[in-house]
Amino acid sequence: MADLVRVELHAHTWWSGDCGVSPRDLCQAARDAGIDVLAVTDHNQIGGAFEARDCGIVDVIVGEEIRTDRGELLAYFLKEWIPPRLPPIETIARIRDQGGVVSIPHPLDRDRNSTLAADQLDAVVPLLDMVEVFNSRVIKPDRNRRASELCLRNGKIPAVGSDAHTRGEVGNSWQEIPEFDGPQQFLAAMQDARLNTRRASPLARIASNWQKVRKRMFGPDVAELAGTGR
């Protein structure tokens, strides 16, 4: 019987414009939280995921939270960067071309302007592997409940994520699954996942908003510039 691992599927580094956590610190926070496998899903970037993987602290899935021209999708097991602002269907095709896994973050959280447009759901959801049925940063519980209903109605694999933008959020929500090697084994393991969820403090979004303001006003700090190569 395969050993079980705890997987965090939604976390950010300072490669995201609203986060100030280094890839190494994110990995350390994951290990401290008991996470075995960490998907780094920066906004429209994959450099942070590669840096996190090179740290060797926890196993890392290279992911990306991609802003299409109609809202966000999540990609996992990427080899190459996928640019933002493409149509959702083209974005999914590019993920598939890399052998990646496709999910959708916070699909019914209409408090975020990054959520995939409602008129895109009927076309996009059938093409997904997974649906994020619980996002720790969703403030209104009914939004996560409705995401679960969307997932069940379409026969997709449920997944949960912390959407961590600070060290303290890592491991709020995770799945426990059998050990896997590659995207196909991952999807098979996710069929029987045990999901653990916890809501983040509403104050977590304040931290993200501050990072946005700080970077816009002052630019990335020296460490961030060194890490991102910007």
Q: pTM of the predicted model, to two decimals?
A: 0.92
Residue 133: domain span? 4-228
| pLDDT of 222 | 41
Torsions phi, psi of 30, nearest 5?
A: -65, -45
Domain count, the chain: 1
Q: What is the pLDDT along the chain (230 residues), one digit of tens a residue?
A: 679 999 999 999 999 999 999 999 999 999 999 999 999 999 999 999 999 999 999 999 999 999 999 999 999 999 999 999 999 999 999 999 999 999 999 999 998 889 999 999 999 999 999 999 999 999 999 999 999 999 999 999 999 999 999 999 999 999 999 999 999 999 999 999 999 999 998 877 666 766 667 767 766 654 555 555 54
Spatial distance between the Cα atoms of 219 and 43, rounded to a whole number of angstroms: 17
The CATH number given to whatever domain includes residue 218 is 3.20.20.140
Local structure of 150: helix, strand or coil: helix
Are 208 and 200 contacting, i.e. CB atoms less than 8 angstroms apart?
Answer: no
| pLDDT of 206 | 65
Neighbours of 189 (CB within 10 A): 21
Q: Between the CA of residue 177 and those of 49, 90, 161, 195, what are the distances in Å?
A: 21, 30, 14, 9
| pLDDT of 31 | 99
| pLDDT of 215 | 67
Lookup: tokens for 123: 């076309």
Residues in the chain: 230
